[in-house]
Amino acid sequence: MKPIRIALTKGRLEQDSVQMFQQLGYDCTALREKGRKLIFPVGNANMEIVLAKAADVVTYVENGVCDIGVVGKDTIMEMGGTFYEVADLGFGKCRFALAVPMGVDFYKGYHTRRIASKYVNVSRSFFEKKEMDVEIVKIEGSVELAPILGLSDAIVDIVETGTTLKENGLIIQEFLGEISARLIVNIASLKLRKEEIDTFISKIEHYLGTEV
Ligand code: PRP
């Protein structure tokens, strides 16, 4: 049978994901010596790992070309999609925040605020709940620049240590929610490869239960 394919998010979550797989007993040597390769066999398990950008992890799992994915809740909230979210993996913890330049009273006055964010859907639904009319500008990265450059009044972004905000003269106005890495599973895979995927999920649950 073809290997179970797992998509891991490159970058921020990569190291913790690989560490988790190693601790589950999967040999990730190929992944640790990766060079520029993007797809790796896992020891002698009938499994392979691919490395992809967060949004692509969701796309691959949703379309069934990967059975399982590890991706941040931020990406899941932004993209939505049809898959099972089966576990909170507990790493990659950070928060969504609305941040403003220090000394600015964000809610003062009646003008339409401009919000810069990579997360336009998360931002839109946050302000819709407040029944506040805002203009949202999509920025791909280093969003903290947008208010400094005068493009926006505020940003919606993920905050981990708070260092990036601080070093760019921004402060948190409000928290929007908690984020961490999640395990997602393709809907058809969970039926068709039930035994293998259930075994994998049980291993993860056991690992999460024994972690200190
Ligand atoms: C994220 C986020 C902030 C920063 C927050 O960016 O967009 O810029 O990390 O982390 P901190 O609170 O620990 O300072 P990332 O490094 O993922 O890169 P990006 O700006 O290119 O999206």
Among all chains, which residue has been given the structure tokens 């560490």?
19
The domain ranges of the chain are 4-92+180-208, 94-177
Q: How far apart are the first and last CA of the chain?
A: 36
In order of 137, 183, 186, the CA distances from 206 in angstroms are 42, 14, 21
Cα–Cα dist 141/115, whole Å: 14
Which tens digits make up the pLDDT trace of 68-122?
999 999 999 999 999 999 999 999 999 999 999 999 999 998 899 999 999 999 9
Look up residue 26 and give its DSSP letter: -
User: Do 4-92+180-208 and 94-177 show the same overall fold?
Assistant: yes
Cα–Cα dist 185/62, whole Å: 8
Q: pTM value?
A: 0.94
* Nearest Cα to Cα of residue 18 among 33, 35, 3: 33
Which tens digits make up the pLDDT trace of 35-75?
888 899 898 889 999 999 999 999 999 999 999 999 999 99
Pocket of ligand 1 (CB under 6 A): 12, 141-144, 157-164
- Look at the domain 94-177 and name its fold: D-Maltodextrin-Binding Protein; domain 2 (3.40.190)
Strand ranges in 47-101 using DSSP code E only, listed in sequence order:
47-52, 68-72, 84-88, 94-101
Which CATH number among 3.40.190.10, 1.10.10.10, 3.40.50.620, 1.10.150.110 corresponds to the domain 4-92+180-208?
Answer: 3.40.190.10
Pocket test for ligand 1, best of 159, 175, 178 (most atoms within 8 A of CB): 159
